[in-house]
C-alpha cells in the first residue's frame, strides 16, 4: 500500500477473468469445501507477476477466484524467501508492512473502490473511497465478517529468511459492500486488481495482476484495474 504521485498511461492492458459460480448446499461453506470446489471446477491460479523495473522481485504469487450468491472466494499461493507478520490489529494495523496479499475492486457503477489487504497471518484492512487520499477505514465489526485462513497460522513473527510457500484463503461476504447496496454480483463485470507486497521486508516488493503503469509503485490506481466477469 503506497501513496505517491503517478504518471498514468491510457494504453493500459486490461486483463479479463471469468469468475466461476459455486452452488453450495449450505449458506456458509467450510474452507475445506471451498478448496474442494476450486479443484473440482478446475479453477486455475493466475499469476501476480508485474513489477516496477526499479523493484525486481523473485517472489512467486498467484490467486484463484470464484463466488457464490453470498460470498467471493479468493485463494492466494505465495513462494518467497522472506516472510514477516507483525501486524495483528484489524482496526489499526498496517498489514502491507508484512508479507501481504491485496484485493482492490469497484463493485458498483460509480468510482468508489474497496481495498482489502491481509497479511500472511490474516490481519485484515478494509477501506473504501473514490481516491487514495480520502479513505474510509472499516471497524472490526466489518472486518471480522471476512472469513480467512492462512497456512502460516495466526501468531505474529519477526522476519524470517529461507524458502517459504504459503497459502491464504478468504471468503468475502457481498454484504460488506453496503455503501453501494450491492446484493448480487451474478452476471456483472466489475473492475479489480490483485496485489502482493511486503513494504517493510528486508527486500521490499510490489507485484500486480493487471499491470500498473506508474513511475513508482502505487496500488491505488483504479484506472489500471483489470476486469472480472461473474458468470451466471
Among the four given CATH numbers 3.40.50.1220, 3.80.10.10, 2.60.40.1190, 3.30.420.40, the one describing domain 16-230:
2.60.40.1190
CA-wise closest residue to 212 among 226, 200, 228: 226
The model's pTM? 0.93
Confidence (pLDDT) at 164 = 98
pLDDT of 10 higher than 80: no
Phi, psi (5° rounding) for residue 178?
Answer: -70, -25
Confidence (pLDDT) at 178 = 80
Share of the chain above pLDDT 70, in %: 94
Mean pLDDT is lowest, of 3-17, 105-119, 217-231, for 3-17
Per-residue pLDDT tens digits for 172-188: 999 999 878 888 999 99
pLDDT of 161 higher than 60: yes
pLDDT of 3 higher than 80: no
Per-residue pLDDT tens digits for 87-114: 999 999 999 999 999 999 999 999 999 9
Q: Could you tell me how many residues make up the chain?
A: 232
pLDDT of 52 higher than 60: yes
DSSP H or E stretch at residue 155: none
Share of the chain above pLDDT 90, in %: 90
Phi, psi (5° rounding) for residue 35?
Answer: -65, -40
Report how far apart, in Å, the C-alpha atoms of 6 and of each of 48, 56, 117 are: 20, 19, 21
Confidence (pLDDT) at 2 = 38
Tell me the pairing of strands 50-51 and 71-85.
Answer: unpaired
Average pLDDT, the chain: 93
Burial (CB count <10 Å: 0-12, 13-18, 19+), residue 157:
middle
Confidence (pLDDT) at 179 = 79
Under 8 Å between Cβ of 102 and 117: yes
Average pLDDT over residues 205-216: 96
Strands (E), the chain: 16-21, 46-47, 50-51, 60-67, 71-85, 100-106, 113-119, 124-129, 136-137, 147-150, 157-173, 189-197, 206-208, 226-230
Confidence (pLDDT) at 180 = 83
Average pLDDT over residues 71-95: 97
Per-residue pLDDT tens digits for 117-148: 999 999 999 999 999 999 999 999 999 999 99
What's the grid cell of residue 121? 497471518
- Confidence grade of residue 13 (pLDDT, cut at 50, 70, 90): low
What is the rounded CA–CA span in Å between residue 76 and residue 61?
7
- Confidence grade of residue 9 (pLDDT, cut at 50, 70, 90): very low
Amino acid at each position: 500500500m503506497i501513496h505517491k504521485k503517478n504518471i498514468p498511461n491510457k494504453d493500459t492492458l486490461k486483463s479479463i477473468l471469468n469468475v466461476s459460480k459455486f452452488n453450495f448446499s449450505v449458506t456458509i461453506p467450510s474452507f475445506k469445501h471451498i478448496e474442494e470446489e476450486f479443484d473440482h471446477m478446475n479453477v486455475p491460479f493466475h499469476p501476480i507477476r508485474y513489477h516496477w523495473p526499479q523493484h525486481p522481485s523473485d517472489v512467486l504469487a498467484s490467486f484463484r477466484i470464484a463466488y457464490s450468491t453470498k460470498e467471493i472466494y479468493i485463494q492466494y499461493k505465495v513462494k518467497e524467501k522472506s516472510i514477516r507478520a507483525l501486524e495483528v490489529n484489524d482496526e489499526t494495523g498496517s498489514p502491507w508492512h508484512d508479507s501481504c496479499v491485496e484485493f482492490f475492486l469497484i463493485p458498483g457503477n460509480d468510482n468508489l473502490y474497496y481495498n482489502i489487504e491481509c497479511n500472511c497471518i490474516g490481519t485484515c484492512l478494509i477501506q473504501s473511497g473514490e481516491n487514495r487520499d480520502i479513505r474510509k477505514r472499516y471497524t472490526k465489526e466489518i472486518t471480522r465478517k471476512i472469513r480467512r485462513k492462512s497456512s502460516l497460522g495466526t501468531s505474529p513473527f519477526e522476519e524470517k529468511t529461507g524458502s517459504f510457500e504459503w497459502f491464504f484463503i478468504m471468503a468475502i461476504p457481498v454484504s460488506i459492500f453496503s455503501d453501494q447496496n450491492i446484493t448480487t454480483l451474478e452476471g456483472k463485470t466489475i473492475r479489480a486488481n490483485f496485489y502482493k507486497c511486503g513494504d517493510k521486508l528486508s527486500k521490499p516488493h510490489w507485484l500486480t495482476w493487471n499491470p500498473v503503469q506508474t513511475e513508482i509503485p502505487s496500488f491505488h490506481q483504479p484506472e489500471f484495474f483489470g476486469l472480472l466477469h461473474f458468470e451466471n
